[in-house]
Amino acid sequence: MSIEIWITIIVFFLTMIVIFWRPRGLNEAWPAAIGAGIILITGLVSKPDVMDIISKIGGASITILATIVMAVILESFGFFHWSAAKLANLAKGSGRRLYWYIQLLCFLMTLLFNNDGSILITTPILILLLKNLQLKPHQQIPYLLSGALIATASSAPIGVSNIVNLIALNIVHMTLYMHTAMMFVPATLGLLFMSWLMYTVLKKKLPSVKRTKFC
């Protein structure tokens, strides 16, 4: 292998090690930025390549940033707290009913925004909900795990619900309409089957939930 490939591999692994190690609580953005800077300074990636990458992922990057800002704004006026209280009221003390409402929430959030936005929005809602319902850690796992899986899988039927789909479709020059026409039916059937399968496996572990006032 050429020296350029070796430098790229070394920079990549060093960057990943520092990101996961986080010495002295170092923010993950710093090693990522330094690693990217080294690649650019050494000329391993040319300016035309950089511009080509930006043209392909620019829209997706802006979408992620906008989703983060939206989540912060929603948290600022109590949307997460209100949603958690609403879910608790709808469950009416039934752990199984709560399970299906959580599934529906995660599905709708992904459908309306994207899978990353769904995780950003539903995670604080579920944490608030399960904390106020006073569920033990092992009792929370079925709700958190199934919710995360549904939030991710719900992006398959339509390409716009997944940032990676948008980037991939842009690279292969496929329209969202073509993706939806090919993926909607099989992906939806797979989503329904996965939801049913998880319920079948987890239903005996779903606890009854207490009706408590949210604090």
What is the per-residue pLDDT across 157-194, written as a single tens digit (0 to 9) for each? Answer: 877 777 777 777 777 888 878 888 888 899 899 999 99
Q: How far, in Å, CA of 195 to CA of 157, rounded?
A: 15
Residue 44 carries which DSSP code? S
Residue 203 carries which DSSP code? G
Find all residues with CB under 8 Å of 167, minimum gap 6, and list them.
Answer: 56, 57, 60
- Based on the number of CB atoms within 10 Å of its own CB, is 103 exposed (0-12), middle (13-18) or buried (19 or more)? buried
Q: Does 215 or 130 have the greater pLDDT score?
A: 130
Query: Does residue 137 register a pLDDT over 80?
Result: yes
Q: What residue spans define the domains of the chain?
A: 1-45, 51-205
Residue 28 carries which DSSP code? T
Q: For a pLDDT cut of 90, what percent of the chain falls above it?
A: 31
Hey, what amino acid is at 11?
V
| Single pTM value for the model | 0.75
Residue with tokens 């795990």, as numbered in its chain:
145
Residue with tokens 């604090």, as numbered in its chain:
215
